[in-house]
Amino acid sequence: MMGKIRISAVKYANTYPFIWGLRESGFEKKVLLETDHPAQCAAKLRDGKADIGLIPVAAIPGVRNSRIISDYCIGTNGKVRTVMLLSNCPFTSLDTINLDYRSVTSVTLARVLAANMWKKEFRWNDTSEKTDFFDIACNEAVVLIGDQCFESESRYKYRMDLAEEWKKYTGLPFVFACWVANRDIDKEFRDEFNSALKLGVDNIDKVADYFGNSGKIPRKELLEYLKVNIDYQLNEPKKEAMDLFLDLMRKL
């Protein structure tokens, strides 16, 4: 292959084990690794600015020649903590939902739940970097994703975990992002890549030691989040959940 393979990874705490594994294994030196928010990861892979991306599941159909290349993902089997519907009024009073511009899958999940579980119609507002997520009316909510949920959720009176809602509705886990390539990647590279990811997933305590002193999330809270809320194995129940989610997304 010509040049180093370009990889775009999500820059949130749920990806720390992957980043740690890629660095500690030395694999990072063999590639060009960048970290972006989920929507950017998807755009880079779609536009050919990356060869591999940890991209939102909802974005996979939009990537030409997409293929999942890893046994690992960003998933959960219940409450995830970092994909939230937040408001200052009860859910029954809401008619407008503001969608986090950094997200692709989570904002689609909100729409899927609204159509199929909640049986409720909303006005959906797109947001941007300039949006003040705290300046919302009483009839509005926000879908907020990522590390900012740890800092921001306490500023709202009402909180709903969207992954937990999915679990209630389907009985299945949920997959937010997968490692996807937009071209053929040889088996030797894939095997080495997966081994590096596994190193991080198998050493969550060391990951929490490393990032718990430098990030916004204290070590104890980070450790619980990575061990309890995030599930990294892309197993058969998660693949079933992905298929169902993509089918419901297509029907929206």
In this predicted structure, the answer to whether residue 2 has a pLDDT above a threshold of 60 is no
Q: Judge whether 5-76+175-235 and 83-170 match in fold.
A: yes
Exposure string of 113-127, with b = 16+ CB inside 10 Å and e = fewer, is bbbeeeeeebeeeeb
83-170 homologous superfamily: Periplasmic binding protein-like II (3.40.190.10)
pLDDT tens readout for residues 145-196: 999 999 899 999 999 999 999 999 999 999 999 999 999 999 999 999 999 9
Q: In the chain, what percentage of residues exceed pLDDT 70?
A: 99
Domain locations along the chain: 5-76+175-235, 83-170
Q: Give the residue-averaged pLDDT of 76-98.
A: 97
Going by C-alpha positions, the residue among 91, 152, 223, 136 that lies closest to residue 144 is: 152
The pLDDT value given to residue 216: 77
CATH architecture for residues 5-76+175-235: 3-Layer(aba) Sandwich (3.40)
| Angle 220-225-231 from CA coordinates, rounded to 5° | 145
Q: How many CA atoms lie within 13 A of 179 on its CB side?
A: 19
Nearest Cα residue to 113 out of 35, 165, 55, 172: 165
pLDDT beyond 80 at 213? no
